[in-house]
Amino acid sequence: MSQSLPLDLDVQTVKQLFDRGAIVLLDCREAHEVAVARIEGAVWIPMREIPSRLSELGQDRPIVVYCHHGGRSRQVTQFLRRQGFANAHNMAGGIDAWSLLVDPTIPRYD
């Protein structure tokens, strides 16, 4: 399945895949951001820690990475792909888009 998914996925597609348990949702934001808003069930590894924590990421399901707006998560996605995680994808728009389009109970922040 992961080979057929594009690099960037919209939040509605991510929500459908996440609800089915078809993906691992990886939050690469900083602790102060996670304290404000988070997606329940997501794995949290700050961006700077990902290189040293690759062993925690399995390759049995696609990984979809998110941050605040999608910039950092796109960098992490590209890094993961270079490390052999062909099943890594970016959630376009980040948690901000998720809050706007999927779950308005999740707070938005600057």
Q: Which two tokens stand for residue 18?
A: 């996440």
**pLDDT tens digits along 38-80:** 999 999 999 999 999 999 998 889 999 999 999 999 999 999 9
Q: State pTM to two decimals.
A: 0.94
Percent of the chain exceeding pLDDT 70 equals: 96
pLDDT of residue 36: 98
Confidence of residue 2 (pLDDT cuts 50, 70, 90): very low
Confidence of residue 6 (pLDDT cuts 50, 70, 90): confident
Amino acid at residue number 105: T
The residues spanned by each domain of the chain are 2-101
Angle, vertex CA 75, rays to CA 73 and CA 80, nearest 5 = 90
Placement of tokens 């995680």 in the chain = 85
CATH topology of domain 2-101: Oxidized Rhodanese; domain 1 (3.40.250)
Query: Which residues are known catalytic residues?
Result: 67
Q: Which two tokens stand for residue 4?
A: 């057929």
